[in-house]
Amino acid sequence: MMLSQVTTEKEWMVTHGKGWWPRARRAPGLVLLIVLALVALTACGGSEEAEAGGLRLDEPWARPGLASPGQSTMSHDETDEATDDNSAHGGHGGGTSAIFLTISNPGNEDDRLVAATTDVAEVVEIHRSTIDASGVMRMGPIDGVTIPAGGKAELKPGAEHIMLIGLTRDLEVGDRFSATLQFERAGEMTIEVEVREP
């Protein structure tokens, strides 16, 4: 058999036989690209997270709440002691809710969450819940939450959270709404928040 016949048969096998794998062996870069694309798609599926300026925001959610004045589905120990008459919220009508999430910072410098906005509340503040010396849980506004370099900040019930005051519409389980978070270093980030029971 002549060398030209062997080459011709191999070329025929690559272009016509054995499916895509013989052709892929000739293009290892293509195989690598396909594998990386599949890995990226797998990593993106199934979790609610967003990234901004190196920060990662995982699973933002909010408690259900009613827009009717003086009403909230948050328990008394998770709201200001004056929530019933709205005096703690400057007389804003509507009920209250709160946004919770985990913010991870894989970077080398601290960042801070300093503000938030959303159209589902008249006022949005960053709050912290604490227990005083008599064992009563109290809550009030703070100027921000630090996300340490190489660490994370968990905004969760009974700790720091984003307080929604004077709801402009009812927030029912399964609803979704947008909120924009402002960070000192990373800037603004808009997230989608799911309303759910804790």
Segment 80-107, tens digit of pLDDT: 433 333 334 444 567 999 999 999 999 9
Strands (E), the chain: 49-52, 55-62, 96-105, 111-117, 121-131, 137-141, 145-147, 151-155, 160-167, 176-183, 187-195
Average pLDDT over residues 113-120: 98
Mean pLDDT value across residues 104-114:
96
Strand intervals (E) in 65-141: 96-105, 111-117, 121-131, 137-141
pLDDT of residue 32: 55
Which range, of 65-79, 119-133, 135-149, averages the lowest pLDDT? Answer: 65-79
pLDDT of residue 82: 34
* Neighbour-count burial for 56-77, b at 16+ CB within 10 Å, e otherwise: ebeebbbbbbbbeeeebbbeee
Three-state secondary structure call for residue 26: helix
The more confidently predicted of residues 181 and 79 is 181
CA distance 44 to 36: 12
Tokens 């978070």 -> residue: 181
- For residue 50, pLDDT over 90 is answered with no
* Cα(136)–Cα(74) distance, integer angstroms: 16
CA angle 186, 189, 190 (to 5 degrees): 180
pLDDT digits (tens, 9 = 90+) for 5-33: 555 555 645 555 555 445 545 555 555 55
Domains of the chain: 3-44 (no CATH), 49-195 (2.60.40.1890)
Indicate whether 188 pLDDT > 80.
Answer: yes
